[in-house]
Amino acid sequence: MPSSHPGELIIEPLSRQDHLLHVLTRVPDPLKPRGRRHRLSALIAVAVCAVLAGAKGFTAIGQWDAQTTTHTLTTLGMGRGAADEATFRRTGP
């Protein structure tokens, strides 16, 4: 019998970005699809990365989003480019 700790989780290895995006796609989006430019999961992923980089509010999150590379945005699921600060404010609590 292999040794393991009780309650040990065994998961398939995923890259951190894939795991984060996969988990965020489960968050229900209460907004109607009409007029929506960005997926909620992508907006949350950008906000998480911006906060990890030191952003302390919606303005700073919008600035981080505007200043990051297209490659980073695409990796985070922002297929239509950067969102503005107002989008993050409307998405927030």
What pLDDT digit, counting tens, does each position of 72-92 carry? 999 899 988 899 999 999 886
Report domain extents, the chain. 16-23+38-91
Quick check: 57 and 26 in contact, CB under 8 A? no
**Which is more confident, 60 or 91?**
60
Residue 45: its pLDDT value, please? Answer: 93
Residue 50: its pLDDT value, please? Answer: 94
DSSP single-letter state for residue 63: H
Residue 46: its pLDDT value, please? Answer: 94
What pLDDT digit, counting tens, does each position of 3-49 carry? 444 455 455 555 655 677 888 888 888 877 777 889 999 999 999 99
